[in-house]
Each structure stands twice: as C-alpha cells, then as structure tokens.
C-alpha cells in the first residue's frame, strides 16, 4: 500500500462516517462535484470525530483524547501524513483548499469548552462558542466551494457564518432534551436562569429565522452545484425550524424533533426542481 492509496482510503473512511452519522448531510453532500464532495466528507469526518470525543466518550479521558487529536492534527498539517485516517484526509483537504488554521483553532477551542462549560449566560459567550463550533465549519466548507476565488469567498463569508449559526441553533433546539438532561448543558442565555416557555422559545426562533434569511442571500451566489447542495441543507433545517415553531415548549424539551423520511424526499425533489428551473 503506497501513500496515495492510503490517503484515498482515508477519504473513503470520512465518507463512511458522514453517511453513518448524518443521512441528510450526506445526501446534500452527494450532490456536489466529485472533488468538492470528498473534501466536504473530510471536513465532516474531522469535526464529527472531535464532537464525538467531547459528547460521547464518557468513561474515557476526554480531555486527553481531544488534546491528542489536536497534537496529531498539527503533525498531519505540518507533515501531510498521519496514522489517523480521518486526520490525513482532513489535512490533505486543508492543503488543497487553503482552509485557514485560525478556523481550525477556533473550532478546537469550542470543543474544549464542551469538556467543562455547561451554561452560557450571555450572548457574547454563546456567539464565541457558535463561532468556533459552527461558523468556522461553514467557512471551511466555503473555502472548498470557492476553490481559490478569494473575492467570492470574502463576499459570501458573512452569509456562510449566518447559516452555520442558524444550523447550530436549530440543532440546539432539536437536542434540548439530550443537552439539558443527558449532558447538563444549557446553550441559550434566554433560558439559562428560567424555564423554557413560549416567550423564550419565540425569541430564539426569531433570531434563527433572521439568520436564515440573511444566509439565503449568500446561498444564491454559490458557484456550481454547491448552490444545490447547500440549498438542500438549508431547506431541511428550515423545515425543522418550522416544525419546532409548531411544537409546544413542553414537547420540544421532551422529545427530539425529526423530519419524516417522506417529507425529506419531498424537500429533495423540491430543491432539485428549483435548481433546474434556476429559481435558486
């Protein structure tokens, strides 16, 4: 087995991770051009691995494992090789598309927050966390989509961050039960010192809706099939938000809100038709 074969196999492993962990994201990613598709798989594989360490590896030394992941990543970025297959695919993508180290560092900082911080009591704290956990992931993907076009990247940077933030906040609402009861975390300052009621729920939903609207302006400017893939993810998460808005606070906090498979297929069909008709 030579190095090129090993790197290619590493990309396949990140693709498998993506497909096993997120059906919706993997379907959206599958609509991209081949090279961009495998790059996004590599980005997802890396962020998923780090997220699993802090959220799932209970009973193990999570602080050590996250620090080891960061150490191994730095080696992979400097030497373009690693015995960790997820990291070698990600490092290769970072090199190919010029993904910025500052974004990687910000992401890892937010992952470290999840090891110890359980409550966010003001918007500044939450914004800093979301910047690292979601905004910069959107910017990594944008680097792939723009493929060296720095003018387009700068133009779409702000909408990409808004989209990452909106996705993250929808995830927070969808996973409210797990975060509060399972992990003891409270991300939204609106409910850090009070119960989750209709008023606080509506405040959070309004903020997310505003971010979705700002993000949509950027999605329409994405190049090639990146527009199709991101629009599909957008409509899926917008659908989740609509369903959450129709659900009582008590139900949101007691169950994980999902989009049925039949509704997902309708979203895919709708977005593909919109894309072909150049309505996006």
The whole-angstrom separation of Cα 64 and Cα 73 is 14
Provide the CATH number for the domain formed by 100-280 in this structure.
Answer: 1.10.600.10
Segments of the chain assigned to CATH 1.10.600.10: 100-280
Q: What are phi and psi of 196, to 5 degrees?
A: -85, 105
What are 45's two structure tokens? 């594989």
The whole-angstrom separation of Cα 57 and Cα 52 is 7
Say what angle helices 123-130 and 150-174 make with each other, to 10 degrees.
Answer: 120
- pLDDT, residue 143, reads 98
The whole-angstrom separation of Cα 196 and Cα 172 is 13
Return the CA Rg of the chain: 19
Residue with tokens 């975060």: 179
- pLDDT, residue 194, reads 65
Distance of alpha carbon 201 from the chain centroid: 22
Which of 76, 75, 131, 80 lies closest to 103 in space, CA to CA?
131
- pLDDT, residue 260, reads 92
- pLDDT, residue 177, reads 84
Residue with tokens 């903020």: 207
Indicate the DSSP class of residue 183.
S
pTM of the entire predicted model:
0.94
In sequence order, which residues have a C-beta less than 8 Å from that of residue 136 and are 6 or more positions away?
A: 103, 104, 106, 107, 164
List b or e across 234-246, with b for residues whose CB sees 16 or more CB atoms inside 10 angstroms.
bbbbbbbbebbee
* Tens digit of pLDDT at every position of the chain (280 positions): 689 999 999 999 999 999 999 988 999 999 999 999 999 999 999 999 999 999 999 999 999 999 999 999 999 999 999 999 999 999 999 999 999 999 999 999 999 999 999 889 899 999 999 999 999 999 999 999 999 999 999 999 999 999 999 999 999 999 988 888 777 888 999 886 667 899 999 999 999 999 999 999 999 999 999 999 999 999 999 999 999 999 999 999 888 899 999 999 999 999 999 999 999 9
Cβ neighbour number for residue 42 with a 10 Å cutoff = 31
- pLDDT, residue 184, reads 80
Contact by Cβ (8 Å): 169, 207: yes
Count CA within 13 A, CB hemisphere, residue 95. Answer: 14
């Amino acid at each position: 087995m030579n190095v090129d074969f090993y790197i290619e196999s590493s990309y396949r492993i990140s693709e498998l991770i993506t497909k096993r962990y997120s059906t919706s994201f993997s379907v959206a990613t599958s609509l991209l051009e081949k090279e961009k598709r495998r790059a996004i798989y590599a980005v997802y594989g890396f962020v998923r691995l780090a997220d699993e360490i802090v959220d799932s590896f209970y009973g193990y030394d999570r602080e050590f494992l996250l620090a080891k992941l960061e150490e191994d990543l730095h080696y992979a970025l400097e030497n373009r090789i690693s015995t960790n297959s997820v990291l070698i695919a990600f490092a290769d993508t970072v090199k190919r598309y010029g993904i910025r180290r500052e974004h990687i560092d910000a992401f890892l900082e937010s992952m470290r927050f999840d090891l110890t911080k359980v409550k966010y009591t003001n918007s500044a704290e939450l914004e800093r966390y979301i910047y690292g956990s979601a905004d910069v992931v959107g910017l990594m993907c944008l680097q792939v989509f723009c493929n060296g076009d720095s003018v387009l990247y700068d133009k779409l940077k702000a909408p990409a961050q808004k989209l990452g933030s909106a996705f993250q906040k929808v995830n927070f609402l969808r996973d409210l039960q797990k975060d509060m009861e399972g992990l003891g975390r409270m991300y939204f300052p609106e409910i850090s010192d009070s119960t989750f009621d209709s008023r606080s729920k509506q405040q959070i939903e309004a903020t997310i809706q505003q971010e979705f609207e700002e993000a949509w302006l950027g999605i329409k400017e994405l190049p090639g099939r990146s527009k199709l893939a991101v629009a599909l993810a957008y409509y899926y998460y917008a659908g989740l938000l609509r369903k959450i808005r129709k659900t009582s606070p008590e139900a949101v906090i007691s169950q994980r809100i999902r989009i049925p498979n039949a509704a997902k297929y309708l979203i895919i069909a709708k977005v593909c038709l919109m894309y072909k008709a150049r309505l996006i």
